[in-house]
Amino acid sequence: MALTYELIKECKQSGARLGKIHTKRGVIETPIFMPVGTQATVKTMTPEELIEIESQIILSNTYHLYLRPGHHLIDRAGGLHKFMNWNKPILTDSGGFQVFSLGDLRKISEEGVEFRSHLDGSKHFISPEKAIEIQTSLGSDIMMVFDECAPYPADETYVKNSLERTTRWAIRCKEAHKNFENQSLFGIIQGGMYPNLRKQSAEALIELDFPGYAVGGLSVGEPKPLMYEVLEHTTPLMPKNKPRYLMGVGSPDCLLEGVIRGIDMFDCVLPTRIARNGTAMTSQGKVVIKNAKHTEDFQGLDPECSCNTCKNYSKAYLRHLFKSNEVLGLRLLSYHNLYFLLQLMKNIREAIHEDRLLDYRDNFFEKYGYNA
Amino acid sequence: MALTYELIKECKQSGARLGKIHTKRGVIETPIFMPVGTQATVKTMTPEELIEIESQIILSNTYHLYLRPGHHLIDRAGGLHKFMNWNKPILTDSGGFQVFSLGDLRKISEEGVEFRSHLDGSKHFISPEKAIEIQTSLGSDIMMVFDECAPYPADETYVKNSLERTTRWAIRCKEAHKNFENQSLFGIIQGGMYPNLRKQSAEALIELDFPGYAVGGLSVGEPKPLMYEVLEHTTPLMPKNKPRYLMGVGSPDCLLEGVIRGIDMFDCVLPTRIARNGTAMTSQGKVVIKNAKHTEDFQGLDPECSCNTCKNYSKAYLRHLFKSNEVLGLRLLSYHNLYFLLQLMKNIREAIHEDRLLDYRDNFFEKYGYNA
């Protein structure tokens, strides 16, 4: 068994859980946020910095690494961990989400998905078996099944057909997966915004007995309250003794609301992407660093944050870096945003431990300027 | 006195000197290379990383900081050191070189230089007094006089007139400079490629008794042997008890040849600029990381280098980062190139100490693939 989930405690105020995921590359305290290293690098960051801000696990993208530099090259390099100099756990997605995002560039069949590379237009085919082959070469600690993430909105028949194929693909992934001593394969519950379909998907996948389950197909454009509603229907169906992962979610409010509904793991490019656009997440809400009002603001980004960026640099300096297109600006804001989210998750774990997560959320939102 | 030069020893094999520059912000062991932080940041690097690779002093550009974010803002921020979080010495140039580089955008008169900003076309005027005012606001440890760097080639009459004006400007800079308790003002010897004019410039400036002298107007397009020849004429004219700074020079061969001819300080954007283009300086010569031959090269950049980049990452990974336009690639190569040059200067100091600098140079060039 490459991975086990230990349930430490359940919050008395909410559906939140405190847990530990034990892997061969170390223990992950949950709930946790996973920084995203799409192309075998968390953009602008070194692995040393990821350790410094207490990242416990990162995510990397199968689709991107398959196309460039290629999974065979990474295999020959000794696997993704060695290639990118990261020794803690890695979760890889299956490539499904990226491939489906290609729109007109892809064609779905029962066998798999044919698509054209966004880099050079070359033709490729990923099947469930291929997705497992690639992830096996990458050597990630947690692999994901090849699924279809249905768009929003989508009618019930489409979503039902899609989730049933996703289930058949999950069976094929499980059969193709051989390296279970070192790599764990998670199932992905689909079903769009339809509670009955979520139930159908969850039941079918639970029967396959994966060591962990993700909720897919959310944060795809639906209103947030709808996402929370779907979560409320779905997480109670999921096994208590296995990790629950909400894919592609990373705004502070969604992390809090997700945890409250029983989610243990999250990933999203949001913190690093908005950082590169000059937006910082802070305890007082978002700071758009290029705004003229920061020109002579010699205070740090967030008075409550003790990250290196906040300790050492003023908003005026950060603004200057962004106005001057300096790489250091991208670095310092990416560092801060990831630190901010990982610190938020730490505070969330502490609040669960002390059965006060709803109070924590309310206080957080009051300062953050978000109306829960 | 804000600065003193201590001559430790002279090399028995060459004109090289081992020394220490004592400043209020610490001691600088010479000969030294100064990384360039044009816009109040050494591109892609944090100050912590600059310390890690043993940078002793950095250079920043008056012209750029005057235009953006403005020297008054930096003054209000508490000075350049505080603004950019760098506590070791800083040398600022006078803005002269950048202003003269503007070509058609500038007009020289006895009073100073009128120019248009490369950022927004706005009109500005820098005089010797203004250059000192700006550098005083920045709070650099070493300021430079406002000079004209004559182009190459230039006829003797032009260069003679230019250097004589530079001398008159040096007098005005010295008169405008009041904060000599904390900031030292260096003179700049001009005179183009004409030994008699170099002599004229050196003698006039030495009479003004600056605490240090730079050799300006070299590395402006002339052949390297000519630069070395001019240095051979010029450094013997310079005071032994003061630091000698060769401006804008940073290739390994020029550093070695400069030190051999008695230079103590160098600066150049070369190591960081070529790093961002994907070129590494190594003990075996230049490595162009995007070259196909590195695709599956799982060795580090330089087998003789022990920097973090070389210890932790393969050429295959670095190539992947550059092919994927990832910021981490720019960071890792900039880090390596600066480490490489600072390590070279350390080795040079050791070789001077042991009176074997010419042997060190010959060995270095043999491996580096450069025919001295």
Contact A68 B323 (CB under 8 A): yes
Contact A312 B85 (CB under 8 A): yes
How far is the C-alpha of A126 from the C-alpha of A121, rounded, in Å? 15
* Residue linked to tokens 């591109």: B43
Contact B43 A328 (CB under 8 A): yes
Give me the phi and psi of B279, to 5 degrees please.
-115, 130
The reported pLDDT for the residue numbered B372 is 41
A315-323 and A327-353 helices, crossing angle to 10°:
130
Please tell me the CATH superfamily of domain A3-267, with its number. Answer: Queuine tRNA-ribosyltransferase-like (3.20.20.105)
How far is the C-alpha of A289 from the C-alpha of A323, rounded, in Å? 9
- C-alpha pair distances (Å), A121 with each of A105, A371, B295: 9, 44, 21
Residue B371 has pLDDT above 70, yes or no: no
ipTM: 0.98
Q: Looking at A103-107, A161-165, B67-71, which range is the least confident one?
A: A103-107
The reported pLDDT for the residue numbered A65 is 98
Instruction: Evaluate whether B263 touches B245 at the Cβ level (below 8 Å).
Output: yes
Give me the phi and psi of B85, to 5 degrees please.
65, 45
**B163: Cβ contacts below 8 Å, ≥ 6 apart:** B148, B150, B190, B191, B192, B197, B200, B201
Question: How close does chain A come to B201, measured CA to CA in Å?
Answer: 37
Residue numbers in B near A321 (CB within 8 A) = 39, 41
Out of A76, A316, A326, the one facing B41 most closely (by C-beta) is: A326
B188: amino acid identity, one letter: I
Extended strands (E) in A247-327? 265-267, 279-282, 285-288
Contact B317 A73 (CB under 8 A): no
Query: Which among B317, B325, B333 is the top mutation candidate for probing chain A, defined by the most A β-carbons within 10 Å of its own β-carbon?
Result: B317
Question: How close does chain B come to A275, measured CA to CA in Å?
Answer: 13
How confident is the model over A48-76, as a mean pLDDT?
98
Instruction: Evaluate whether A159 touches A197 at the Cβ level (below 8 Å).
Output: yes
Instruction: Evaluate whether B348 touches B31 at the Cβ level (below 8 Å).
Output: yes
Tell me: the pLDDT tens digits for B53-100? 999 999 999 999 999 999 999 999 999 999 999 999 999 999 988 888
Tell me: the pLDDT tens digits for A233-288? 999 999 999 999 999 999 999 999 999 999 999 999 999 999 999 999 999 999 99
Question: How close does chain A come to B84, measured CA to CA in Å?
Answer: 7
If contacts are CB pairs under 8 Å, which of residues 306-335 in chain A contact chain B?
308, 312-314, 316-317, 319-321, 323-324, 326-328, 330-332
pTM, rounded to two decimals: 0.98
Q: Given the DSSP bridges, would you call strands B123-126 and B142-144 parallel, antiparallel or unpaired?
A: unpaired
CA angle A92, A93, A94 (to 5 degrees): 120
Tell me: the pLDDT tens digits for B96-108? 888 888 888 899 9
DSSP A297: -
Strand order in the sheet with B113-116: B106-108, B113-116, B123-126
The pLDDT confidence band at residue A202, using thresholds 50, 70 and 90, is: very high
CB burial of B83-116 (b: ≥16 within 10 Å; e: otherwise) equals bbbbebbbbbbbbbbbbbeeeeebeeeeebbbbe
The pLDDT confidence band at residue B1, using thresholds 50, 70 and 90, is: confident
Tokens found for residue B84: 């950019």
Where are the domains positioned within chain B? 3-267, 275-368
Residue numbers in A near B73 (CB within 8 A) = 295-296, 316
The reported pLDDT for the residue numbered A370 is 65
Q: Which residues of B are catalytic?
A: 93, 267
How far is the C-alpha of A69 from the C-alpha of B315, rounded, in Å? 13
Residues that constitute the known binding site of A for Zn(2+): 305, 307, 310, 336
Tell me: the pLDDT tens digits for B12-67? 999 999 999 999 999 999 999 999 999 999 999 999 999 999 999 999 999 999 99
The pLDDT confidence band at residue A101, using thresholds 50, 70 and 90, is: confident
How confident is the model over B257-281, as a mean pLDDT?
98
Q: Is A93 a catalytic residue?
A: yes
